[in-house]
C-alpha cells in the first residue's frame, strides 16, 4: 500500500505581500528557530553594545564640554593678555611722552648750563688776568724792594747779653758760638737785631749756620726773645719756629719731622716777609718744609729774633747773617711767588 504523506503548510507572515496562496510554505522549508539561550545571548550582546554606545556618547559629551570650557578659558586669557598688552602700550606711550618732555627740558637746562658755564669761564678768565696782573705788579714791587739795600742796613750778630751762661763767643765778629766746659743742659743765644715785622715789610730775612762741632744736639731758627733766662728749651713753645739736627721741625708749639743735619753741614733758615712763609736750606739747596702749614701770623708789636741752642760741651757753630750766603737767594725771586 502506497502511503502518501501530506505536506504540512504554515503561514509565513514575513513573505512579501503576495497572494494568499504564496504565503503558505511547507513546514520543512521554514527556517529553524534559534534556541532561547542563543536569543538571550544575542540580546545581552545587543544590550552591551547599546550600553557601550551610550557610555561613548557620554564620554564624547564630556570631552566636548571640557574642550568647550578650555576654549572659553583660553579666550578669557586671550582677552586678558590683550587688555594687559593694551595697558602696557599705553603706559609705554605715556612714558615715552614724559621722557621726550624731560629730554626737552634737559636740553634747555643744558643750554642754560652751558651758557652759565661760559659766562663763569669768562669771568674766571677776567679775574685770573686781573689777579695775574696784580701779582705781577706786586712781584715786581717786591723784587725791587728785595734788591734795595736800606740806608740803615747793618749786619746782624750774636748778642752776648742775650746768651745762656754755658755759651761764649770766640771771635771778634760775634758770629762763632762755643759751648763752654763745666756746663750742662741746653743754652741759647739770640741775635742782636730782630726781624722787622710790620705790614709794610718785604724781602727775605735769612741766615745760615755752619756746624763745626756737635756732640749732642743743635737747634736754630726764630723765636720770641725770652727774658731774662736763656737756658730753657723754649723753642718747643708757642712763638718759636726752629729746626733741630735730628730732623724735628718746631712750629709754634707743634713738632713734626724734617730734614736732619750734622757736622760740616751749612743749614739756613729764613722767612719771606711778603708771603709770611718760612725757608729752609741745606748745603745751598732749598728744601721743602713739613706738610703742615708753614706760614705764620704775628702781632704788630711782635719781634722774632734769630737764635741757636746747643746742648753739650764742645758744640760749636758759626753764623752767617749775609749778604754772601751759600744758598743763592736770587732763586727765591723766581720761585717764591709761584
User: Structural domain boundaries of the chain?
Assistant: 158-335
Cis-peptide into 319, omega within 30 deg: no
Inter-residue contact 218 to 310 (CB < 8 Å): yes
The pLDDT of residue 224: 77
Residue 220 has pLDDT above 80, yes or no: yes
| Longest CA pairwise span in the chain (Å) | 206
CA distance 194 to 223: 9
Res 149: pLDDT = 46
- The C-alpha atoms of residue 275 and residue 296 are separated, in whole angstroms, by 9
pLDDT digits (tens, 9 = 90+) for 153-180: 457 899 888 888 888 998 888 899 998 8
Judged against a pLDDT cut of 60, whether residue 230 lies above it is answered with no
pLDDT of 198 > 60? The answer is no
Of residues 189 and 181, the one with the higher pLDDT is: 189
> Is pLDDT at 241 greater than 80 in this prediction?
yes
pLDDT for the residue 268: 92
Position 31 scores a pLDDT of: 58
Summarised one tens digit per residue, pLDDT across range 20-68 is: 555 455 555 555 666 777 778 888 888 888 888 888 888 988 998 899 9
DSSP secondary structure, 70-128, as one string: HHHHHHHHHHHHHHHHHHHHHHHHHHHHHHHHHHHHHHHHHHHHHHHHHHHHHHHHHHH
pLDDT given at position 175:
92
- Which residues, in sequence order, are bridge partners of residue 316? 178, 213
With a cut of 70, say whether residue 13 has pLDDT above it. no
| pLDDT level of residue 316 (50, 70, 90 thresholds) | very high
pTM of this structure: 0.52
Q: What percent of the chain has pLDDT over 70?
A: 71
Instruction: Tell me if the bond preceding 287 is cis, omega within 30° of 0.
Output: no
Q: What is the pLDDT of residue 153?
A: 47
DSSP 291: S
- Identify which has the larger pLDDT, 291 or 280: 280
| Predicted local confidence at residue 300, as pLDDT | 52
The per-residue pLDDT for 265 is 93
Q: Looking at residue 181, what is its pLDDT?
A: 77
Residue 243: the pLDDT is: 84
Q: In which band, very low, low, confident or very high, does the pLDDT at 209 lie, cut at 50, 70 and 90?
A: very high
Q: What is the pLDDT of residues 286-311, one digit of tens each?
A: 887 654 445 566 655 567 889 998 88
On average, the pLDDT of the chain sits at 77
Quickly count: other Cβ atoms within 10 Å of residue 142's Cβ. Answer: 21
Residue 311, φ and ψ in degrees, nearest 5: -130, 5
Burial category of 297 from C-beta neighbours within 10 Å (exposed 0-12, middle 13-18, buried 19 and up): exposed
- Residue 151 pLDDT class (50, 70, 90 cuts): very low
Mean pLDDT on 231-247: 72
Candidate from 93-107, 129-143, 177-191, 199-213 with smallest mean pLDDT: 129-143
Give the least confident one: 245-249, 255-259, 307-311. 255-259
Determine the Cα–Cα distance for residues 140 and 303; give it in Å rounded to an integer. Answer: 27
Higher pLDDT, 54 or 183: 54
Give the residue from 258, 305, 263, 257 showing the smallest Cα distance to 283. Answer: 263
What is residue 131's predicted lDDT score, i.e. its pLDDT? 79
The 10s digit of each residue's pLDDT in 102-150 is: 888 888 878 887 888 888 888 888 888 887 777 667 656 655 554 454 4
- Fold for domain 158-335? Jelly Rolls (2.60.120)
E strand intervals along 124-195: 158-163, 167-169, 176-179, 187-191
Amino acid at each position: 500500500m502506497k502511503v502518501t504523506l501530506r505536506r504540512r503548510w504554515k503561514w509565513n507572515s514575513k513573505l512579501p505581500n503576495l497572494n494568499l496562496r504564496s504565503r503558505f510554505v511547507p513546514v520543512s522549508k521554514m527556517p529553524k528557530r534559534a534556541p532561547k539561550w542563543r536569543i538571550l545571548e544575542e540580546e545581552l550582546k545587543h544590550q552591551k553594545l547599546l550600553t557601550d554606545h551610550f557610555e561613548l556618547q557620554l564620554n564624547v559629551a564630556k570631552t566636548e564640554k571640557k574642550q568647550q570650557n578650555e576654549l572659553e578659558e583660553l579666550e578669557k586669557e586671550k582677552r586678558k593678555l590683550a587688555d594687559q598688552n593694551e595697558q602696557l602700550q599705553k603706559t609705554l606711550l605715556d612714558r615715552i611722552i614724559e621722557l621726550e618732555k624731560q629730554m626737552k627740558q634737559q636740553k634747555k637746562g643744558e643750554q642754560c648750563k652751558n651758557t652759565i658755564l661760559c659766562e663763569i669761564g669768562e669771568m674766571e678768565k677776567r679775574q685770573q688776568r686781573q689777579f695775574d696782573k696784580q701779582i705781577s705788579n706786586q712781584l715786581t714791587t717786591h723784587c725791587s724792594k728785595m734788591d734795595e739795600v736800606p740806608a740803615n742796613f747793618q749786619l746782624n750778630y750774636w748778642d752776648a747779653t742775650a746768651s745762656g751762661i754755658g755759651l761764649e763767643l770766640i771771635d771778634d765778629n760775634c758770629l762763632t758760638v762755643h759751648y763752654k766746659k763745666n756746663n750742662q743742659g741746653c743754652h741759647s743765644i739770640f741775635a742782636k737785631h730782630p726781624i722787622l715785622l710790620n705790614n709794610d715789610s718785604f724781602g727775605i730775612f735769612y741766615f745760615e749756620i755752619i756746624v763745626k762741632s756737635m756732640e749732642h744736639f743743635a737747634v736754630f731758627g726764630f723765636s720770641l726773645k725770652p727774658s731774662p733766662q736763656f737756658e730753657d728749651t723754649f723753642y718747643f713753645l708757642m712763638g718759636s719756629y726752629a729746626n733741630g739736627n735730628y730732623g724735628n721741625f718746631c712750629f709754634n708749639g707743634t713738632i713734626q719731622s724734617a730734614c736732619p743735619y750734622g757736622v760740616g753741614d751749612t743749614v739756613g733758615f729764613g722767612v719771606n716777609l711778603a708771603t709770611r712763609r718760612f725757608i729752609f736750606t741745606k748745603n745751598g739747596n732749598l728744601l721743602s718744609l713739613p706738610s703742615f702749614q708753614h706760614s705764620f701770623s704775628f702781632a704788630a708789636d711782635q719781634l722774632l729774633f734769630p737764635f741757636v741752642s746747643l746742648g753739650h760741651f764742645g758744640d760749636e757753630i758759626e753764623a752767617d747773617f749775609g749778604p754772601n750766603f751759600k744758598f743763592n737767594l736770587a732763586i727765591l725771586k723766581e720761585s717764591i711767588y709761584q
